[in-house]
Structure 1
Amino acid sequence: MGAVKSKRVPRAVREQQMLDAAVLTFARRGYSAASMDEIAEAAGVSKPLVYLYLNSKEDLFSTVIRRESEALVAAVAAAVEPGATADRQLWSGLKGFFAHTAAHPHGWAVLHQQARTHGEPFTREVAAMRAEIIAFVTKLIGAAAKETGCVGELAEREVAGLAHALVGAAESLAEWVNVRADEGTSGEREHPSAKDTAATMMNFVWAGLGRLTEGGRWAPDGLAGQESASGVRR
């Protein structure tokens, strides 16, 4: 009786296995140090098969970045509570962001650490992902301003800047939260949940945004809105 042949793995499934192995390898070793041999071994396939399916190392890394970016954007979008107030939508989106980055720390390491330090075309892929998230946050902050009747200076001039600042702060917080035990002295601390991390972000951002929508502004020496005799705002 002949040997039983193993069931052939569909190409789409095998390709995802290779990408999973690539994410893990790139996150742990870095793009420059990672080798196609390591990726093939981690995926349980031959190196020629990796090249056949995913071409060069550069193409593989670009595909990994694109896949992880799309997954992150989809997770944030899916977490948002439709029809809720702007602050509730932002909070639920942040929860989705922090939950996804916590569940996929290697994917987040590739996006936040590796892809940003190796030039084009990798930085372009990450920039496209950030642009989608920033556009979403810009829309929510603009909606919050309109909900409070603030449609003047804040709505026209500051919303985009606030959105960029919020996304940057969330990325930094995700990096802090997702530090692994083997990456520093903070490994013994208990990592906060996605809900708690999102609440921290909202406490940092929303209280200040609330003051802005009510017309409050910070300025040196309390000179908000005042101009010097020369007409230059101080």
Structure 2
Amino acid sequence: MGAGKTKRMPRAVREQQMLDAAVRIFGQRGYMAASMDEIAELAGVSKPLVYLYLNSKDDLFSACVRREARSLTQAVRAGVRPGLPPDGQLWSGLRAFFTHTARNPDAWRVLHLHARTHGERFAAEVAAMRADIVAFVTQLIAAAARDAHRRPHLPEEEVAGLAEALVGAAESLADWAGATEGVTAKQAAATLMNFAWAGLGDLMTGRPWVPPEEPEPEPAPAPGGAAVPGGAAVPVQAG
């Protein structure tokens, strides 16, 4: 009897293998240095098959960015447990974020480093992912303010600014944790909670930090003149 035919792998499964290999190579090499030959070899397929499935290097990279952006966003959303108090929700979301980035370092480099610097098309896809996460964090902070009762109506721009600051800090800390040996996802999340919640907790309970009273700065001299009280400028005579 002749040998039976090898069962063909479903296209969707094969494509995910290609994307897995591409994320690893793009993450470690960057877009420009990544080789389609190397990606095909790591995926266990021929280079023509990679082009058949994913058209071009640009399209392959774009597919990687979209998949990993979706995966990170889903991980953060799924990590937040709605029944917890505000600090517990933020903690669970940060744990989910840092756990995902720690487990997928190549994907994080693709999103946070390579996609942002390679071209507008890819940067826009990452910006959309980031905007989604910022909007989600904005909702968490607004809900926390409502639950705190004392600050049920924080100004919209203040909530948006806090969310931007928190997400930016998380991104920087993920880079630091990935480059620092021995730092766990739990430790990274705890670091950011210690940094952020001390201030957020006071804000929610009506104890915001207030800038000290300071005198108004003197007006700057106008070109060719000297500043005087009241803001008027007088000509400066040449010596």
TM superposition score normalised by structure 1: 0.86
* 1:190 correspondence with 2:182: yes
Following TM superposition, by how much is the alpha carbon of 1:78 offset from its aligned partner in structure 2, in angstroms? 1.0
TM-score w.r.t. length of structure 2: 0.85
The structure-2 alpha-carbon separation of the partners of 1:150 and 1:124, relative to structure 1 and needing over 3 Å to count, comes to same
Q: Which residue of 1 aligns with 2:222?
A: none
Counting aligned pairs with the same residue, the percent is 63
The letter for the 2-side match of 1:87 is: D
Following TM superposition, by how much is the alpha carbon of 1:228 offset from its aligned partner in structure 2, in angstroms? 5.3
Ranges in structure 1 where 5+ consecutive residues have no aligned partner? 180-185
User: Is the aligned partner of 1:18 residue 2:55?
Assistant: no
Pairwise CA RMSD = 1.9
The letter for the 1-side match of 2:208 is G
Larger fraction in helix: 1
Q: Is the 8 A contact 1:142 1:155 kept in 2?
A: no
Counterpart for residue 89 of structure 2: 89
1:115 match: 115
- SS of equivalent residue, structure 2 residue 136: helix
Asked which structure has the greater CA Rg, the reply is: 2
* Number of positions where the alignment pairs a residue of Structure 1 with one of Structure 2: 216
Q: Which amino acid aligns with 2:195?
A: F
Q: Answer yes or no: is the 8 Å Cα contact 1:145–1:155 preserved in 2.
A: no
Query: Which of 184, 198, 215 is the matching residue for 1:207?
Result: 198
Q: Which runs of 5+ in 2 are unaligned?
A: 219-239
Q: Cα offset for 1:4? A: 3.2
Do 1:145 and 1:151's aligned partners in 2 also have CA atoms closer than 8 Å? yes
Q: Distance in 2 between matches of 1:118 and 1:103?
A: 24
Separation in 2, partners of 1:32, 1:218: 48
* Aligned counterparts of 2:34 and 2:13: Cα–Cα separation in 1: 22
SS for the counterpart of 2:119 is coil
How many Å apart are 1:83 and its aligned residue? 2.1
| C-alpha separation in 1, matches of 2:210 and 2:113 | 33
Structure 1 229/123 Cα, relative in aligned 2: closer, same or farther at 3 Å? closer
Other-structure match for 2:178: 178
Change (3 A) 1:229 1:131: closer
Could you tell me how far apart the structure 2 residues matched to 1:57 and 1:229 are? 55
Post-superposition CA distance 1:150-178 (Å, at most 9, x none): 145x4333110110010010011111111
